[in-house]
Amino acid sequence: MFYDRTVDLLGVLGDTLVSLYGGGSPCPKASPGISCHVRSVMDEAMRLSFLENPYFHPYMQKNAILALAGSYMDSDVLRKWLSSYDLTEMPEKTALVVAAGNIPAVAFHDYAACLLLGLRTDFKLSSKDKHLIPAIDDCLRHIGGVMTGIRFSTGLPCSRYDKVIVTGSDSTVSFFNGRYEGSDILARKSRYSLAVLSGSESAADLDSLARDAAMYYGLGCRSVSYLLVPEGYDFAGLSSAFSRFRDDMEKTDPSLLVPFDGAYRRLKALKIMGGEEFVDLGFMILERDRSEGREYPSFGCLKYSDYPCSREGRAGFIRNFIIENKDRIQKKYTNFGIAQSPSADDYADGLDTVEFLSDKKRML
């Protein structure tokens, strides 16, 4: 297929990144010169990113890069993903991607889709994340000795495009719908993810949940920011899990917790002064939601609702909650520890990016 060479290059880069940042074996297809170039380019991109964005601690960036290497830079995974579509004939198309920047390289899925499908793409970077994906692109060009067809900018191009991908708030999406009227637009809006607890979770389960909620500072639509728990749920085990996460971060680098500090202290002070009940998680707070899921959780704060303990009551409550908030919920998790490692075909907002860009229906 036309994308085979790109898949192979991504595979080499993924293996190289794992060897450099994940403690893996050296990539046999990457020369020492390639590994040295990748290390130099990626280290500089991470340095600049952290310098400009305090939420992009190098620890967080490396975790994001390794997650991408496992899903979007594994040649077998990529071939299986793309084989679900009939891509034998791909007419030339132009695309614009307006990238989000809330967590490191969060727009890489869109980059990979445009790259693999061979679209001539203008990629508008977020001011919060303007170094990582261009650095990955640079590494690919170095490995393959070819241009990728992706042009990066921080300004908004004025050209017309066949396809436009936008991620942002409702007002942002409305703006782009007007600006690029006549283009085919895929728009992703603000959402949150929730976890459903049964009350029988092990300490290991709760540790994984704490990571799903607090990794990348709880930013990003896939991070767990809402809990559904049984009535009378004891939060002691969950609080302990968050304490262990905090301790792990402090042992890794105490500065990892700095971005939480201001919001945590402010929210805690407001709750105490207002006489409101909350659960102190040590660097975040957990509070009961009074809006039935209609209000988005704020930074540093998790929300919860409780459901009836009977089987019928539980099923009905959860079903109705999801139906009423279907345009706000990104993911519902009942297994924990997977929120920050989505598969290539786990599309944000349930919108199939490959189908949108290629105009090819996914084959069942």
Q: Are strands 279-280 and 285-288 parallel, antiparallel or unpaired?
A: antiparallel
pLDDT for the residue numbered 30: 67
Residue 262 within any structural domain of the chain = yes
pLDDT for the residue numbered 338: 92
Written as six digits, the tokens of 173 are 């999406």
What is the average pLDDT across 117-121?
94
- Identify the domain containing residue 253 by its residue range: 192-333
Residue 142 has pLDDT above 80, yes or no: yes
Residue 302 has pLDDT above 80, yes or no: yes
Residues 28 and 97 in one domain: yes
Domain count, the chain: 2
Residues 229 and 173 in one domain: no
CB 37 within 8 A of CB 142: yes
Cα radius of gyration (the chain): 21
pLDDT for the residue numbered 249: 95
Residues 266 and 174 in one domain: no
d(CA 358, CA 354): 6
- State what percent of residues in the chain have pLDDT above 90: 78
Residue 238 has pLDDT above 70, yes or no: yes
- State what percent of residues in the chain have pLDDT above 70: 99
The continuous run of DSSP H or E covering 303 comes out as: strand 301-307
pLDDT, tens digit, 9 for 90 and up, residues 184-218? 999 998 899 999 999 999 999 999 999 999 999 99
Written as six digits, the tokens of 216 are 């990348």
d(CA 208, CA 224): 11
CA-to-CA dists, residue 54 to 45, 63, 103, 217, 290, angstroms: 14, 16, 11, 11, 32
Per DSSP, what are the bridge partners of residue 122?
96, 151
What is the average pLDDT across 48-70?
96
Residue 96 has pLDDT above 70, yes or no: yes
Task: Please state which of the ranges 12-16, 26-30, 101-105, 353-357 shows the lowest mean pLDDT.
Answer: 26-30
Residues 186 and 198 in one domain: no
Residues 134 and 259 in one domain: no
* Domain final residue pick, 143, 159, 190: 190
pLDDT for the residue numbered 28: 66
What is the average pLDDT across 221-240?
96
Residues 172 and 198 in one domain: no
* Domain final residue pick, 190, 215, 248: 190
Angle, CA 108 vertex, CA 102 and CA 112 arms, to 5°: 165
- pTM of the prediction? 0.93
pLDDT for the residue numbered 136: 97
Contacts of 31 (CB under 8 A, 6+ apart): none
d(CA 209, CA 180): 40
Residues 19 and 137 in one domain: yes
What DSSP state is assigned to residue 361? P
Q: How many CB atoms lie within 10 A of CB 314?
A: 17
Residue 157 has pLDDT above 90, yes or no: no
CA-to-CA dists, residue 20 to 37, 39, 121, 145, angstroms: 11, 7, 29, 21
Written as six digits, the tokens of 54 are 């305090």
pLDDT for the residue numbered 175: 86
What DSSP state is assigned to residue 334? S
Written as six digits, the tokens of 256 are 């990892």
Q: What is the CATH number of the domain that holds 75?
A: 3.40.605.10
pLDDT for the residue numbered 69: 94
Residue 356 within any structural domain of the chain = no
What DSSP state is assigned to residue 350? G
pLDDT band at 311 (very low <50, low <70, confident <90, very high): confident
Residue 89 within any structural domain of the chain = yes
What DSSP state is assigned to residue 118? T
Residue 25 has pLDDT above 90, yes or no: no
pLDDT, tens digit, 9 for 90 and up, residues 128-139? 999 999 999 999
Residue 298, sorted as left (phi over 0), alpha (psi -120 to 50) or beta, turns out to be beta
Residue 122 within any structural domain of the chain = yes
Residues 46 and 18 in one domain: yes
Task: Please state which of the ranges 69-83, 141-155, 189-203, 221-235 shows the lowest mean pLDDT.
Answer: 141-155
Residues 20 and 160 in one domain: yes
pLDDT for the residue numbered 169: 76
Residue 359 within any structural domain of the chain = no
Residues 182 and 96 in one domain: yes
Residues 61 and 180 in one domain: yes
pLDDT for the residue numbered 364: 61
pLDDT for the residue numbered 16: 94
Length of the chain: 364
pLDDT band at 160 (very low <50, low <70, confident <90, very high): confident
Written as six digits, the tokens of 193 are 């993810």
pLDDT, tens digit, 9 for 90 and up, residues 35-44? 999 999 999 9
Residue 223 within any structural domain of the chain = yes
Residue 206 within any structural domain of the chain = yes
Residues 156 and 275 in one domain: no
Residue 345 within any structural domain of the chain = no
CB 143 within 8 A of CB 116: no
* Domain final residue pick, 169, 190, 211: 190
What is the average pLDDT across 142-170?
86
pLDDT, tens digit, 9 for 90 and up, residues 275-284? 999 999 999 9
Residue 49 has pLDDT above 90, yes or no: yes
